[in-house]
Amino acid sequence: MTAAHRTLPFGTVVQVTDTDNGKVVAVRINDRGPFAPDRCIDLTRAAFERLAPASRGVIPVLLSIASPVPPARDPARDLAARILAEGRITLATGHLDPRGDDPPDGASAHDNVADTAHGRPARRSSYGSGEGGTVALSPAMLRGLLDRATAFTFGVSEIAGGSHSGHNRHALGLAFDVDSIDGQPVLRLGGDAERRFMDGCRADGATEVRYEGLHIHCGWS
């Protein structure tokens, strides 16, 4: 019991009524067509014969959607909204490099997460080696970021913004930098909290975990 329709999403269940005799059949859309201008839906033979003999070929019908396809959930959008609401995570609203803030380039860590939470791609910076444009943030990276809030309070200095070339994991939406943990700035020598934070990123699948100056970098493949 399937049919072709030009625009309805695949999986939509449509109730088709033959307006000549009142018979009804429910079909699921699984193909595109018909392409003749005077046709609105193309039923399989089995579905058509629930309404009329196949010899009729074309019949007048009324269509109604019986079961629309629910919109697919966007895991990155959901995770970003949870990160914005998480009081243990502070997202930077600017860059350490003033070239990104005069005027603001809309690619701060907070901007990146807010854009994702609203279903938009995250902006990238265009100063330094940054190439500008936008990128979709990785759900795995966002999940790793959110998971760290179960054990730490921390500040995120960069996600997709900053002076990162197009092949850098930040520019690919796969990494974040953390410059403070539990109220203390990240130091190159490292303390117990910093080591545990890095171990947590690795446990969540990060494949790039290292100190970079005065921040910790966690990147996913």
Using CA atoms, how far apart are residues 2 and 136, in angstroms rounded to an integer? 35
| Tokens 């100063």 sit on residue | 127
Based on the fold, state whether residues 116 and 149 are members of the same structural domain: yes
Q: Which of 18, 47, 67 finishes a domain?
A: 67
**% residues pLDDT > 90 (the chain):** 85
CB 142 within 8 A of CB 149: no
Distance CA 90, CA 102 (A): 22
Whether residues 155 and 62 share a domain: the answer is no
pLDDT in tens, 166-196: 889 999 999 999 999 999 999 865 688 999 9
Q: Is the pLDDT of residue 38 over 80?
A: yes
Contact 31, 4 (CB under 8 A): yes
Mean pLDDT, all residues of the chain: 93
Residue 165's Cβ-side half-sphere holds a number of Cα atoms within 13 Å equal to 1
The residue whose two tokens read 């490292």 is: 190
List the one residue out of 213, 90, 107, 208 whose CA is nearest residue 148: 90
Q: Are residues 59 and 97 in the same domain?
A: no
What pLDDT is recorded for position 177?
98
d(CA 4, CA 40): 9
CATH code of the domain in which 41 resides: 2.40.40.10
For the beta carbon of residue 169, count every other beta carbon within 10 angstroms: 21
pLDDT at 74: 87
> How many domains are there within the chain?
2
Read off the DSSP letter of residue 104.
B
Distances from the Cα of 75 to the Cαs of 96, 135, 158, 194, in angstroms?
29, 15, 21, 28
Are residues 134 and 43 located together in one domain of the fold? no
124 lies in the same domain as 144: yes
Same-domain check for residues 98 and 116? yes
Using one digit for the tens of pLDDT, what is the confidence trace for 127-158? 999 999 999 999 999 999 999 999 999 999 99
**pLDDT tens digits along 2-31:** 999 999 988 899 999 999 999 999 999 999
Give pTM, 2 decimals. 0.69
Residues 41, 144, single domain; the answer is no
Task: Tell me what pLDDT residue 145 has.
Answer: 97
Model pLDDT, residue 68: 75
Q: HEC states along 135-167?
A: ECCCHHHHHHHHHHCCCCCEEEEECCCCCCCCC
Query: Residue 38 corresponds to which amino acid?
Result: D
Task: Read off the tokens for 176.
Answer: 């974040």
The boundaries of the domain holding residue 101 are 75-219
- pLDDT value of position 166: 85
Is residue 58 domain-shared with residue 118, that is, in the same domain?
Answer: no
The verdict on 47 and 120 lying in the same domain is no
Strands (E), the chain: 2-4, 13-18, 24-31, 42-43, 61-67, 89-91, 122-123, 134-135, 154-158, 175-181, 184-185, 208-212, 215-219
Q: Quote the CA–CA distance of 172 and 2 in Å, as a whole number.
A: 40
Do 37 and 87 lie in a common domain? no
Regarding whether 10 and 97 lie in a shared domain, the answer is no
Chosen domain end from 20, 51, 67: 67
From 22, 47, 67, the end of a domain falls on 67
Q: How deeply is 79 buried, as exposed, middle or buried, from its count of CB atoms within 10 A (0-12, 13-18, 19+)?
A: buried
Higher-pLDDT residue of 191 and 87 is 87
In this structure, are 10 and 63 located in the same domain?
yes
pLDDT of 81 higher than 90? yes
Residue 58 has pLDDT above 90, yes or no: yes
